[in-house]
Structure 1
Amino acid sequence: LFSLFFSATELDCCVIPVRNNLKLIQTTDFFYANIDDPYTMECALKAGTSVRGGQTTYNPWVLIGGAATAVVPDSEYIMPTQSKPGDVLVLTKPLGTQLAVTAYNWMKDQSDTWKEKCTPRITEEKMASLYNAATLSMARLNRYAAKLMHIHGARACTDVTGFGALGHARNLAAVQTAEVTFEIDRLPCLEGAYQLSKALAAKHHLDTALTPETSGGLLIAIPEEKAVRYIKDLYELDGNQSWIVGRVISAPTPADARTARLSTNLEIIEVPHDSVV
């Protein structure tokens, strides 16, 4: 999540030293709303903040976003650089959110793409269920997932959004201190999303792990012996599943150092819609 004077990376948060051994941490993001009901965007209070005067603007299109800023001591944030061989990679939300929203809009518009490519893969009823599950997933905060990282000794983390799971894994691997390789061997996808992606061009297939997500989960490098407890504790706090999706290994060759890749034995996990709460 954080970048401390790293250059040529695509991590989207900065860590800036200020006075008294404190750090200013900030990220900014804006995008067009991709759901119909603006009320489902209301997460500010749950996140421990609020929308105040001076933070809103008039615009002819619905736009959502903002800047998140914190000033904290070193003990309250985790730099993304300390993964070690033997760590595992945990993903805290399923994939397929952006695809679900896009396909749902195609269905509403009865577009040619929906009629010609999607209808052989999914019914309108299942498409609506997939969309609802994606909306619930996007509305779920990463707050508990982030807090538990401190308790369970997480060593690196990134969110999974516009670059997809593999894209963000590559960005995270690139800033590791150790010469490691991230290998992803499982991809949890909202039920139906993987098969739906296969109806589209190859670049949209979920098994590339490069398809964009909206409000995705965290991809966390954590000691293997602590991962199961982390997943259990997170489920007890917010009722949602997380998955061990890969591992951190010693780079097999110098060229593999600080890179990420998909396993040749990649497994797709279908995540039931009713498990997303």
Structure 2
Amino acid sequence: MSITKDNNPAPGETFRLTARCKAAGCAGKLGPADLAGVLEHLELPTHPDLLVGISTGDDAGVFRFSDDLAIVNTVDFFTPVVDDPFTYGQISAANALSDVYAMGGVPRTALNIVCWPQSGLPGEMLAEILRGAAEKAREAGVVVVGGHTVGDEEVKFGMAITGVIDPRRIVRNVGAQVGDALVLSKALGTGILLTAFKRDALADEHYQAAVRSMTQLNAAAASAMLKYDVHAGTDITGFGLVGHALKMADGSDVTIVFEESDLPLLPGVIEQCRAGMMPGGGNRNREYYAPSVRISDEVSDEIATIAFDPQTSGGLLIAIPEAQALALVAELQDSGHREAAIVGRVVARREHPIELV
């Protein structure tokens, strides 16, 4: 389905999904400062079978049913990041499924979450979004069992995912150990590239590379990491590499050191960063997380910016013993995660929980 550049096309013309998003950067999560301000007023839920709740900001919740069975619950939805509705559905599904994979679980069912204008957009576009999501769910072996729709001026779509997991083999975002290597399964830069796309400044080959990354499931990465002695893991999404790594560092009482030269980058992201294509979410991430990060003087401004870039359907960040890291990277690359790389290391706690050198 072709999409025009006009947000208010004449009858019979087509529509650009991303132009329906009112605020720059609105596709991302609520800013970390705003979210922290809300959560501090809430009483944390407790239950003897609630194995993972919200206390450490893990990627999903885990509830135990028996000694060898627990369920994993997560939900994620956002405004359009691309204009093709089918692709938008695929990206949204892959992004929602990723939280279950990050915990080491296997997703089983999904519920669609739809916010859609009462008028102004053809129903065929929504059907394409749902079709794209359903195709990605089938690829993951997930059954879409239903969903819910709400009238909204802005388009939003995502999924609530339920998965299963062995409660004895949960991968948390805490537990990283001194001496661990950090492996990242996907390249960075989707937020910056998508900002350039929305401003009609992105080359098609760079757009296609971003789409390939965002529609790639983290299923193979999750399967690979479970073959090793994983100490901690998370997926890199709206709070960027720094934000999600900071949760790991604080929860593990360690410092995580990222090497500038080792960070895998999507093609074109350096150039777009220089052109000022940072999304609003990236600026909010940097403002909130900067006090926790030491950035070496030798690190380029572009890499420093990319480290805070909010990712859509990003890769898994995995802390494992250094002796196993190269084998994991090789297996990830063989399974289709060609940009997988060792991006850093875990050291004893220092003044700053995150260092970029």
TM-score bucket of the superposed structures, by smaller chain:
0.7 to 0.9
Q: Normalised by the size of structure 2, how large is the TM-score?
A: 0.61
Q: CA deviation at 1:19?
A: 4.3
Q: Secondary structure at the match of 1:74?
A: coil
What pairs with 1:22-33 in structure 2 (closer than 5 Å)?
22-33=69-80
Q: 1:231–1:241: 8 Å Cα contact kept in structure 2?
A: no
- The question of 1:135 aligning with 2:211 is answered yes
What pairs with 1:11-26 in structure 2 (closer than 5 Å)?
11-20=58-67, 22-26=69-73
**Structure 1 runs (4+) greater than 3 angstroms displaced:** 9-12, 17-22, 58-62, 201-206
What pairs with 1:137-152 in structure 2 (closer than 5 Å)?
137-152=213-228
Following the alignment from structure 1 to structure 2, what is the Cα–Cα distance between the partners of residues 55 and 206?
40
Q: Which residue does 1:164 correspond to in 2?
A: 240
Distance 1:130 1:86, change over 3 A: same
- The question of 1:224 aligning with 2:322 is answered yes
- The question of 1:97 aligning with 2:194 is answered no
* Identity within the alignment, %: 36
Q: CA deviation at 1:103?
A: 0.7
Q: CA deviation at 1:193?
A: 0.7
Q: CA deviation at 1:206?
A: 4.6
Counterpart residue type for residue 230 of structure 2: A
Higher relative contact order structure (alpha carbons within 8 Å, sequence separation ≥ 6): 1
Distance 1:146 1:73, change over 3 A: same
Distance 1:175 1:6, change over 3 A: farther
Distance 1:192 1:65, change over 3 A: same
- The question of 1:55 aligning with 2:147 is answered yes
Cα-Cα RMSD: 2.4
Following the alignment from structure 1 to structure 2, what is the Cα–Cα distance between the partners of residues 83 and 55?
37
Q: Secondary structure at the match of 2:141?
A: coil
Following the alignment from structure 1 to structure 2, what is the Cα–Cα distance between the partners of residues 226 and 217?
19
Distance 1:58 1:241, change over 3 A: same
Q: Normalised by the size of structure 1, how large is the TM-score?
A: 0.77
Q: Which residue does 1:207 correspond to in 2?
A: 304
Q: Which residue does 2:272 correspond to in 1?
A: 196
Q: Which residue does 1:260 correspond to in 2?
A: 354
Distance 1:94 1:201, change over 3 A: closer
Q: Secondary structure at the match of 2:346?
A: strand
Please list every run of 5 or more consecutive structure 1 residues that lacks an aligned counterpart in the other structure: 108-113, 115-123, 264-277
Q: 1:88–1:248: 8 Å Cα contact kept in structure 2?
A: yes
Q: CA deviation at 1:246?
A: 0.4
Following the alignment from structure 2 to structure 1, what is the Cα–Cα distance between the partners of residues 75 and 233?
18
- The question of 1:4 aligning with 2:52 is answered yes
Counterpart residue type for residue 233 of structure 1: E
Q: How many residues align?
A: 237
Distance 1:201 1:134, change over 3 A: closer
Q: Secondary structure at the match of 2:52?
A: coil
Following the alignment from structure 1 to structure 2, what is the Cα–Cα distance between the partners of residues 3 and 185?
33
